[in-house]
Amino acid sequence: MSTPISTERETFRLSMLLNDKRYRSYTFQFFALLVLICIIAYLGKNLVENLAKAGLNISYGFLEDPAGYDINQRLIEYNSQSSHLRAAFVGVLNTLLVAFLGCVMATVLGVTAGILRLSNNWIVAKLMTIYVEIFRNVPILIWILIISSIFMGVLPQPRAFRGENPEATMLWDMFAFTGRGIYTPGPIFFEGSLVVIGTFLLSIVSIFAFRRYARRKLYSEGKVIKTSWISLLLFFIPTIMMFYALGSPIGLEYPELKGFNFKGGIYARGSLISLWFALSIYTGAFIAEVVRAGIQSVDKGQTEAAAALGLRSNFIMNLVILPQALRVIIPPMISFYLNITKNSSLALAVGYMDITSTLGGITLNQTGRAIEAVLLLMLFYLAISLSISAVMNVYNRSIMLKER
Amino acid sequence: MAENNASFVRHELIKEQVPPVSQRGVVKWVSENLISSPFNVIMTLLSLWIIYSIIVNSAPWFINGIWDAKSVRECYDILDGVSGACFAVLKERFPQLIYGFKYPSTEYWRPNIAVVLLLAALAPVLFRKLPQQLLGFSAIYPFLAYWLIWGGTPLVAVIAFLGLAFGIYCFRRFSARSFAFGVIIAVIAASFFWVLGGYLSEANETFLALEAVPSRDMGGLMLNLLLGTIACSISIPLGIVLALGRQSNMPIIKWICVIFIEFIRGVPLITLLFVANVILAFFFPPDTSIDLILRVIIMMTFFNSAYIAEVVRGGLAALPTGQYEAANSLGLDYAQSMRLIILPQALKISIPGIVNVSVGMLKDTTLVSIISMFDLVGMIRGPILATSEWNGVYWELFGCAAAIFFVICFSISKYSQWLERQLETSNR
């Protein structure tokens, strides 16, 4: 005989909202939402009252007004009559410029230092440890200020290049390192330059296509095709031929001393250079630690197994160690790139005109639109971070799949 | 029967020979570590050259350093063209670097005592081997430090502390019946105590009063340490709560935490400081004035807690699911299982991360100089370098600031490595 299980439906009582685990979470969430709404309503009420009292309102019309200030380092056309929106856009490009340069240099420095820290050369390893510890433990703002004062103090002013016996000379008559910034030759584009650039891009595409073809040949027929020489030829010959066939459509413009300053070529201001160096040296120290940890995380047995297979030492590094180490290295690396982008907002301290200095600095002070300007500023950084972390999630998922 | 009397059989071992010169001592070490390959020789020479040039260039600067001068002109006059540092600025402006330029100079002993007591209060937290009764002092310390640094009557601090203690007592008393009931009673009791005490302390403003120092007079390294310590100590519990909220299976609570954490982590600290500087005041009730230092502390705490939450979340995620299931099967409720099973293990894993974030926070306190607060860097860039006496002594001042931060941050990270080894209980 089996006793029938009572199938009587439980009736809902009010006390179950607090005592029953199934319903209690609804109660908690309801109260959390209620508290949140109350806080937001309270803050909103204060905001409205304060704005009314100060005679302010929230409007983004100021973005259309002429900015009225100059930006000395810019990638696109801009003058003081341009709108605040355009000034902000110049700032965005400047932020992205310094962030990109910083990421490249920080990676180079960090990977070099990280590998050298593992070197069996005692002095080199100790030197790199000192570099990493010193730069990691001092605030980046202090590094930015130190490097910019080195820049201004050590390098000569443009006037030192003048006269019969100048105190300073240009490097190969092409580069001028001055306290105000670095002048390098810049390209000038004449008619037909697009064709040359197009040819160059095409040849790069064809190099990749050729390598792919060679690999497929190797896998399907076992034929080894030497790719290195042909790639090298493909890289140079078509572009150079096109360049001369069209009568040298791309020229170089050299910086020249005119009056008290240099004119022509590409001019990178001292503030850009010092911010760039400071960001990359500082972040490079962190990247070095990550690279070292990544390489050390690969089991020693992997190296030994690869050696037992008869691989040479550079093959062991490239084919066995690095692919496994990269899995550990890349996720933190991407967050360091994000940090560089966020830390580039310290441009304010050296007067580099990035988005924080234009939109959050001069525009904010001139128009008094604090809430709008800071909100836009935050949205910009948020957009960058969220898109980078989306990319990172995709990457993480792709390496997770390979694991099993 | 042949007698075996071969005399060449040895009965004792030959004495161990000394290894060849190339295989021992300094020679072996040098040949293995410094000149094992042509590339290594080049690297060694290069490093030696770097070390040599750093020493040659900086040694005279340090040795010829001038410690007694009234201005940078005087320094140059004494140096007379020789390369040398002008450390006199550090000596002359020492109080400004440490306490800022407005803190009354007769009261410097107060922050000094506060720092010494800070070390005493931190000791039982940092080193578990010390008698744990000392933790009582750590609990009193924040109130004591508030009184020492800001001055005024000690009644404020005493009442704040007693109110808190009374609240906790009520919670202990009533939480046995129900957690929520205990919390509500405790909050009501503490607020009642504080409101009553508020009248009492307003009536007795001069009772045992120290000279009151307003927040805007704080400066120098003291401001950095103040911001760093307060922001870190509040943000660790807040970060743990946020991390638990993010792990929660209640969607609304989870999303509130996720949005908060991701928003804060997505923007640079400097924009949050802008918010503290120019916007936050709009969100407080009209006619209240909350001073800048408090607004900065609020934003820094938010910033730090979002990062700590991510670190703790990593620790929670690293625990095997079996731990959660074991806690459930023992019949522990959520609060008990977190307090007794999950958090002790998760926090142990996250200690290095929490320390890294906190060191980062301490370094980031220098950013307040950008919103024109006079912390260590702000003092250097503003009141010291702007004066005609010390205009242009960048190296000595920034070098000094860098050295101070290096000493603090390096010792904290060494401590965290030591703690990690102490807490290592696995058999690996």
Confidence of residue A403 (pLDDT cuts 50, 70, 90): very low
pLDDT at B39: 81
Residue A3 confidence (pLDDT) above 60? no
What are B375-427's pLDDT values in tens digits?
A: 888 888 888 888 887 877 888 888 889 999 999 999 988 888 888 888 776 64
Chain B contact set for A22 (CB, 8 A): none
Query: Is the minimum CB–CB distance between A368 and chain B shorter than 8 Å?
Result: no
Confidence of residue A402 (pLDDT cuts 50, 70, 90): low
Residue A404 confidence (pLDDT) above 50? no
Smallest Cβ–Cβ distance between A121 and the set B43, B284, B366 belongs to B43
Interchain pair B251, A29: CB under 8 A:
yes
Instruction: For A267, list phi and psi in degrees, rounded to 5.
Output: -120, 115
The minimum CA-CA distance between B269 and chain A, rounded to whole Å, is 8
pLDDT at A159: 62
Handedness of CA A350, A351, A357, A362 (dihedral sign): positive
% residues pLDDT > 90 (chain A): 18
Give me B323's structure tokens: 């731990």
Smallest Cβ–Cβ distance between B256 and the set A36, A122, A374 belongs to A36
What are A324-352's pLDDT values in tens digits?
A: 888 888 888 888 999 999 999 998 888 88
Average pLDDT, chain A: 81
What are A245-261's pLDDT values in tens digits?
A: 776 667 666 666 666 66
Give me A260's structure tokens: 């008290």
pLDDT at A34: 92
The reported pTM is: 0.84
pLDDT at B237: 92
What are A143-199's pLDDT values in tens digits?
A: 999 888 887 777 766 666 665 566 666 666 666 677 667 777 767 776 677 777 888
pLDDT at B41: 86
Residue A6 confidence (pLDDT) above 60? no
Chain A contact set for B367 (CB, 8 A): 141, 346
The minimum CA-CA distance between B356 and chain A, rounded to whole Å, is 10
Give the nearest chain A residue to B410 (CA atoms). Answer: A137
Counting Cα atoms < 13 Å in the Cβ hemisphere of A352 gives 28
pLDDT at A1: 47
Interchain pair A142, B285: CB under 8 A:
no
Regarding an ipTM greater than 0.90, the answer is: no
The correct answer on CATH 1.10.3720.10 for the domain covering A98-175+269-403 is yes
Give the C-alpha separation, B31 to B244, whole Å: 55
Selected residue with higher pLDDT from A401 and A17: A17
Query: Is the minimum CB–CB distance between A33 and chain B shorter than 8 Å?
Result: yes
User: Which residue numbers in chain B have pLDDT < 50?
Assistant: 1, 427-428
Q: Where are the domains of chain A?
A: 98-175+269-403, 186-253
What are A41-85's pLDDT values in tens digits?
A: 998 888 888 888 877 777 777 777 777 777 777 777 777 777 888
Interface mutation target, options B300, B406, B412, chain A, most CBs of A under 10 Å = B406
pLDDT at B405: 93
Give the nearest chain B residue to A344 (CA atoms). Answer: B268
Chain A contact set for B221 (CB, 8 A): none
Architecture of domain B97-103+215-423: Orthogonal Bundle (1.10)
What are A285-327's pLDDT values in tens digits?
A: 999 999 988 888 888 898 899 999 998 877 888 888 888 888 8
Give me B166's structure tokens: 């009374």
What are B238-277's pLDDT values in tens digits?
A: 999 999 999 888 888 899 999 999 999 999 999 999 998 8
Chain B contact set for A120 (CB, 8 A): 32-33, 36, 40
Interchain pair B266, A385: CB under 8 A:
yes
pLDDT at B260: 92
* Cβ-based contacts under 8 A for chains A and B: 155
Q: Where are the domains of chain B?
A: 97-103+215-423
Query: Is the minimum CB–CB distance between A356 and chain B shorter than 8 Å?
Result: yes
A173 φψ region: left (φ > 0), alpha (ψ -120 to 50), beta (else): left
pLDDT at A7: 54
Interchain pair B286, A46: CB under 8 A:
yes
